[in-house]
Chain A
């Protein structure tokens, strides 16, 4: 995304957008620029956005008129899901087709991988499903098509979210006024911080880690462990950096986009982690998957075990048609399920007799969650199994794990306080300029693609 297309459209877009006095015309220009951005990256994707937006908007109107007939909503959502499966997940079959091909040489040379994968397909389908479902639930009305097209294609958040809701997005378009000084200040601050997080922190960390992830057997176990921990920060700074840029760029147009991160690695339990990590996706999973699945049965085993596991497995698969994402999702589902069981047991237990235990769990909550999430990344990242074998196959690393765990217990309070202080730090405009200068001087030229733009 850090490409000439993005910042070129951003600069040209801002100049045009705020030069036009008429609000509706201004929004139309923004839609056109957003579609131009997508077209520049991949012309076919722009057509998919327009076509899919037309499809969803028409069904939105029908669902709004026939809210008593849930079949329309089911049919519309199924259509969107079919599109997602067609473009994104048919590739899973390519391995089978390749194997088949070896035996039947006379089959046409055809690869399902190259069917065509529209850019941002995962994000746009989720946005459209939320739009249709919110109409069904009576939370929103279909609105205007041009607003919906802008919602679907808004270039600042198109490639990798946040997965904004129409409910929050559309009202801002109606009232969009000239940006106040606060918008410029906040927008540029977020962009500068985002660029620094991505280009300096995430990319340099990734540069030093890449050889260890690729050939963990060539490194010591503690280096492999360090690589795992550092990767957790690479993915965080990469995605949080992207989100900062997307939120900041939107703010320059006077549009406020939901936050995507809130100090996730300081979460006290796995449920809290998901309220702080990729917030827009986890909110989506909660509202449109977790809750509807919970309503299917009142059986405890269904709600405590199967619902989190299924929801998170699907969340994992959303990242890509690969078993490693599925395993990562199930890992988190099991974590959420274990937390549910623990909370149930806690409720049942008498408060007084368990006070000491509760206090102990409070202390180990953050380090446990951190380790749980970090080990989950082993499955998320390619070569994770080799790295896991390197770490767990060596007693040296295994003795290091409890040491880090105990250190984290003692450090967690300081980390929490520092993060709060950092968040409260007053930010002057000149700091934005300093951050941009530092980013230009220190940036890494090795890795540039955003990890989440690939999903």
Chain B
């Protein structure tokens, strides 16, 4: 009986802790959603991962906003696009999409859920399940959505853990300075993280291709012109991209390319001083790329 009463006490304390954590998260999310409703006039929306964060400066593209976020994957870009369309009705979407953006997740789901969970819907979880990419952290959030009304205290420590770190799903252009070209370890780290996991080469994710198609369909349905950009990469990085990855990447793009403008700047010859590291531009490189994109938007001219 003594054990039981102690357990009940612990339970009550834990539930209270979980409740407080959830309320704090809710408040944080509410603050975030004001970003989506801002009065800014966004005609050109920039989405994608760190390649867009570091490489596309909205100052050079009129009426644009860079909402790209580090590590953002295509499925999450899709949901951001859906919410951005409701709030701002953009006319152009610039989406960064590099060789690894179609690959299966690599230990990032917890972070992604921390950021994007407020934007997601039931279809997201169903797709994750259908494509067998439902990991424990995604399942937790899905369960929580179902159980939230009943407030069953399942996995409440996760809510406490989720309080740490930035939950921002809206990113921004990051003016990066200097260059790390020459630090060969950073090249190896990036290539390893982007293309390999514990079992060797990462595989193409059918789910990511599915959400890429959904981005295309959404743009068509809402009369948004889509620009897919493969941002400039250092030649040493490009050489390290496994052909087993780059080949299907170009096949996916080729199969759909009549629906969007594809700006393949990955092999653009740039001096080292324009790279922040082997796969990101610094502010000099970003200026050049942004001016090129702005010119393309103006002329609607497809680069070779």
Contact = CB atoms under 8 A, between A and B. Distances in A.
Interface stretch (A128-136, A297-305, A336-344, A443-451): A443-451
A444 B157 contact: yes
A442 B137 contact: no
Interface string A98-111: 10011001000101
Contact of B157 (A382, A434, A442): A442
A99 to B, nearest CB: 11
B150 interface: no
Contacts of B242: 98
Nearest to B247: A109
Contact of B158 (A94, A382, A430, A445): A445
Contacts of A114: 203
Interface in B134-168: 135-137, 139-141, 153-158, 161
A105 B243 contact: yes
A289 to B, nearest CB: 26
A94 B4 CA distance: 56
Nearest to B240: A102
A454 interface: yes
B200 A94 contact: yes
A431 B140 contact: no
B244 A109 contact: yes
Contacts of A111: 200-201, 244
Contacts of A448: 135-136
Interface string B18-47: 100000000000000000000000000000
| Centre residue among B110, B136, B137, B153 by max chain A CB count within 10 A | B136
A434 to B, nearest CB: 5
B243 A445 contact: no
B243 A109 contact: yes
A246 B178 CA distance: 54
A445 B137 CA distance: 5
Chain A interface secondary structure, helix, strand, loop or mixed? helix
A437 interface: yes
Nearest to A95: B200
A440 B203 CA distance: 33
Interface string A428-443: 0011001001101111
A441 B203 CA distance: 34
A105 B247 CA distance: 11
A268 interface: no
B7 interface: yes
Interface string A179-218: 0000000000000000000000000100100100000000
A440 B199 contact: no
Contacts of B153: 441
Contacts of A165: none
Contact of B154 (A382, A430, A441): A441
A443 B14 CA distance: 12
B11 A441 contact: yes
A98 B246 CA distance: 13
Contacts of A440: 154-155
Nearest to B135: A448
A113 interface: yes
Contacts of A204: 157
Nearest to B10: A438
A33 B247 CA distance: 41
A445 B155 contact: yes
Contact of B11 (A105, A382, A431, A437): A437
Contacts of B200: 91, 94, 111, 113
Contacts of B182: none
A431 B2 CA distance: 12
Contacts of B11: 437, 441
Interface in B48-82: none
A441 B243 contact: no
B304 interface: no
B110 to A, nearest CB: 5
Question: Which 10 pairs show the lowest CB-CB distances between chains A and B?
Answer: A445-B140, A448-B136, A113-B200, A445-B137, A445-B158, A445-B136, A446-B110, A442-B157, A443-B155, A434-B7
Interface of A: 91, 94, 98, 101-102, 105, 109, 111, 113-114, 204, 207, 210, 382, 430-431, 434, 437-438, 440-448, 454
17 contacts: A94-B200, A98-B242, A109-B243, A113-B200, A113-B201, A204-B157, A207-B161, A430-B4, A431-B3, A441-B18, A441-B154, A441-B157, A442-B155, A444-B161, A445-B155, A445-B158, A447-B136
Given A113-B200, A430-B4, A437-B11, 4 more contacts: A98-B242, A438-B10, A441-B11, A444-B155
